[in-house]
């Protein structure tokens, strides 16, 4: 019987490293192993240092190990071909074309990736080889929960459509009933503790613990109870001789005790290493510490590093011209990047600093795992409200589910006002009653918040990279999507000109460097840099330039007092140079603090240090 292992957790906690380490160890023991990533911003290729892509690929250096990175676009084409194949020879070509058009939106993209993912749960074999272990390296927690919820939601959606028009935005019900059965089998497999384990990777910090607890509870509601945790990024105790690390070790010890109390699950620990984990031999060294409990020193690889480090000051003008609004129009700042790189900290610190400079600032997020309130240390609700302790600062955490309810009701109310027939209204309700409506509604709500008042600056803390790109591509297709989602089933193809003009203005704003700035946040290691660079190129293809880079967790020169810390700073120096080479934009250094960036007082310290000191470089 095949074993299925899911790795989940907050972005940046090391899910991919732990998943790859587990895969290598299982393959080395003689098991046939497949590792599949469902993260839209996949980095399996980076970790294994070989091309993988959207096909099952053997890992050259590990017999018995195969890998696949699900490509959303290719999965969508494959899904549409399968879903429409049964109706192509039965219905007129024009009708099939309408069905295909109705499957053109982000809705189909989401379900297609999931459909490919469930293939491995349903039939864990390829070319006659049956896998003993299938490992899923998933997207960050909020999106993983959504992925796991999909079979439950789509089964209901397909049933509802079968009672009505017989058409869903993921294809005609008659053609996807087989998929529904597959999803139901996937649900049963995920609930079976004999077959499936969920391993949550977290780090000893508040937001990671909070997100893990939430995810554990959500999975339990779905009947998925076989759960374990890996605590990653624990600082080696020997580094307590370093004052910076001594403070962070004390902080981590408090959180390790909290994890023990509040997450009483089977637990493993993995230490922070002095360099990044790339390549099979490094993965095997990590496996020795994780599974065999070897000393952490066995996995360290102290690089030759300079004993003194200098930091070069720079002219801050180039940074400020991309952060500050111009006299005649406001500025929108988008903070993007891989999960866990510190987007929320960077966006909160920037918004706080801008508000302190006297700019009327709105801070927003649509990330399903929103942490604005955690970082600010104040309550942030779904409606725009002032942060009372900070003059000129407002904030909101856009709830996709709540936004979808308002969004659907607004569309239906408008349709009734236009005189649509009851039959047309019913069809519209069916088409809008799908899980992917939330995504469009969240972006619609962002636009509404950002344009409802005369803000000087709007700071948008986005979801992790792959999901951010999908979100930002939405308005580019929005007019067509309105036709599909709202009007395709009605007696007229009238286009909502007001909505079209509204989103065209948003597109123009995102493309204008005088009005908006896309800032990529990353820490100086290969994976977040590569991911951000790929995303930057995709944005450029949409006509959206990258304006800033925030390099996070940079070790201050004064803190590099041990071989471990100097080795990590030497690694960072290499990648800071790589950032400068790949991104022809100003770079802001965010230093590693001895404690968590949490609360208004600490954010004020960070903003003061970053925006008015030699920490700013270009």
Q: Domain spans of the chain?
A: 3-299, 317-526+535-554+577-595
Give the other-Cβ count within 10 Å of 287's Cβ. 22
Other beta carbons less than 10 A from residue 173's beta carbon? 20
pLDDT at 493 over 80: no
Rounded Cα distance, 496 and 491, in Å: 15
| pLDDT of res. 108 | 66
> Comparing 216-225, 399-408, 432-441, 506-515, which segment has the lowest mean pLDDT?
432-441
* CATH topology match: 3-299 vs 317-526+535-554+577-595: yes
**Stretch among 14-23, 40-49, 439-448 having the lowest mean pLDDT:** 439-448
In whole angstroms, give the CA distance from residue 346 to residue 336: 10
pTM for the structure as a whole: 0.78
- pLDDT tens digit string along 23-50? 999 999 999 999 998 766 667 888 999 9
Q: What percent of the chain lies above the pLDDT cut of 70?
A: 75
Residue 494 confidence class, pLDDT cut points 50, 70, 90: very low
Residues 6+ apart with CB under 8 A from 537: none
Which residues sit opposite 8 in a β-bridge? 200
**Mean predicted confidence (pLDDT) in 281-288:** 95
Residue 409's pLDDT is what?
84
Round to whole Å and give the CA distance between 39 and 41.
5
* Pair type for strands 385-386 and 393-397: antiparallel
State which of 398-412, 558-572, 604-618 shows the largest mean pLDDT. Answer: 558-572
Q: Which residues contact 538 (CB under 8 A, 6 or more apart)?
A: 469
CA angle 469, 140, 479 (to 5 degrees): 30
Q: Answer with the residue of higher pLDDT: 123 or 365.
A: 365
pLDDT, the chain, mean: 80
How many residues belong to the chain? 618
Q: Which of 5-19, 225-239, 573-587 has the lowest mean pLDDT?
A: 5-19
Residues paired with 67 in a beta bridge:
35, 57
Q: How many angstroms separate the CA atoms of 164 and 177, rounded?
A: 15
Q: Which is more confidently placed, 56 or 149?
A: 56
Lowest mean pLDDT among 188-192, 313-317, 545-549: 313-317
Domain 317-526+535-554+577-595, classified CATH 1.10.8.10, yes or no: no
Query: Residue 193: what pLDDT?
Result: 93
Which pLDDT score is estimated for 436?
Answer: 60
Residue-level pLDDT at 160: 57
Kindly tell me if the per-residue pLDDT of 428 is higher than 80. Answer: no
Of all residues in the chain, what percent carry a pLDDT higher than 90?
A: 35
Rounded to the nearest 10 degrees, what angle do helices 526-541 and 465-473 cross at? 10
Residue 369 has pLDDT above 70, yes or no: no
Q: Which has the closest alpha carbon to 72: 359, 411, 348, 465?
A: 465
**Least confident interval from 232-241, 335-344, 515-524:** 335-344
Structure tokens at 615: 């920490």
Q: Domain 3-299 in CATH: superfamily? A: P-loop containing nucleotide triphosphate hydrolases (3.40.50.300)
**Whether 280 contacts 287, CB under 8 Å:** no
State the Cα–Cα distance between residues 181 and 142, nearest whole angstrom.
Answer: 25
| Tokens of residue 455, six digits | 């803000």
Which range in 14-18, 29-33, 203-207, 467-471 is most confidently predicted, on average pLDDT?
29-33
Q: Tokens in use for 525?
A: 């290691």
């Amino acid at each position: 019987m095949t074993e299925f292992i899911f790795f989940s957790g907050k972005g940046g906690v090391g899910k991919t490293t732990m998943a790859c380490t587990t895969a290598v160890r299982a393959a080395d023991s003689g098991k046939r192993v497949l590792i599949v990533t469902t993260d839209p911003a996949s980095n399996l290729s980076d970790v294994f240092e070989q091309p993988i892509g959207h096909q099952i690929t053997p890992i050259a250096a590990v017999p018995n190990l195969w890998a696949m990175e699900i490509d959303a676009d290719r999965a969508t084409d494959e899904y549409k071909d399968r879903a429409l194949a049964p109706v192509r020879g039965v219905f007129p070509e024009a009708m099939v074309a309408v069905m295909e058009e109705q499957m053109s939106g982000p809705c189909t993209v989401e379900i297609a990736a999931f459909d490919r993912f469930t293939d491995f749960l349903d039939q864990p074999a390829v070319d006659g080889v049956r896998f003993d272990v299938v490992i899923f390296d998933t997207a960050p927690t909020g999106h993983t929960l959504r992925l796991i919820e999909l079979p439950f939601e789509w089964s209901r959606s397909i049933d509802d459509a079968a009672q009505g028009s017989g058409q869903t935005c993921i294809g005609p019900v008659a053609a996807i009933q087989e998929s529904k059965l597959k999803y139901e089998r996937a649900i049963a497999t995920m609930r079976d503790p004999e077959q499936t384990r969920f391993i949550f990777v977290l780090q000893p910090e508040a937001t990671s613990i909070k997100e893990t607890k939430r995810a554990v509870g959500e999975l339990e509601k779905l009947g998925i109870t076989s759960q374990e945790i890996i605590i990653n990024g624990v600082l080696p105790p020997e580094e307590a001789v370093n004052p910076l690390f001594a403070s962070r070790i004390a902080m981590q010890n408090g959180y390790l005790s909290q994890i023990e109390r509040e997450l009483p699950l089977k637990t493993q620990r993995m230490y922070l290493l002095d360099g990044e984990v790339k390549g099979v031999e490094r993965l095997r060294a990590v496996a020795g510490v994780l599974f065999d409990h070897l000393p952490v020193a066995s996995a360290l690889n102290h690089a030759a590093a300079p004993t003194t480090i200098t930091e070069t000051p720079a002219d801050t003008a180039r940074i400020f011209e991309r952060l500050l609004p111009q006299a005649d129009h406001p500025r929108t700042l988008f903070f993007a990047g891989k999960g866990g790189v510190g987007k929320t900290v960077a966006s909160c610190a920037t918004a706080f600093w801008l508000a302190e400079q006297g700019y009327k600032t709105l801070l927003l997020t649509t990330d399903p795992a929103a942490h604005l309130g955690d970082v600010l240390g104040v309550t942030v609700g779904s409606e725009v409200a002032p942060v009372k302790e900070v003059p000129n600062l407002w904030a909101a955490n856009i709830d996709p589910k709540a936004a979808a309810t308002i969004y659907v009701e607004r569309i239906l109310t408008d349709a009734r006002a236009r005189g649509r027939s009851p039959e047309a209204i019913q069809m519209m309700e069916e088409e809008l009653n799908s899980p992917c409506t939330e995504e469009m509604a969240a972006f619609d709500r962002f636009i509404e918040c950002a344009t409802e008042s005369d803000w000087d600056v709007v700071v948008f803390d986005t979801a992790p990279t792959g999901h951010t790109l999908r979100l930002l591509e939405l308005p580019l297709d929005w007019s067509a999507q309105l036709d599909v989602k709202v009007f395709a089933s009605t007696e007229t193809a009238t286009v909502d000109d007001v909505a079209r003009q509204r989103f065209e203005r948003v597109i123009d704003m995102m493309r204008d460097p005088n009005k908006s700035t896309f800032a990529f946040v990353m820490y100086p290691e290969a994976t977040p840099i590569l991911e951000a660079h790929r995303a930057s190129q995709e944005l450029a293809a949409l006509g959206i330039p990258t304006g800033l880079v925030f390099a996070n967790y940079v070790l201050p020169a004064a803190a590099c007092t041990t071989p471990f810390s100097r080795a990590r700073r030497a690694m960072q120096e290499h990648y800071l140079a790589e950032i400068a080479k790949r991104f022809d934009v100003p770079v802001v250094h965010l230093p590693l603090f001895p404690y968590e960036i949490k609360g208004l007082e600490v954010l004020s310290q960070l903003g003061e240090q970053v925006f008015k000191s030699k920490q700013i470089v270009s």
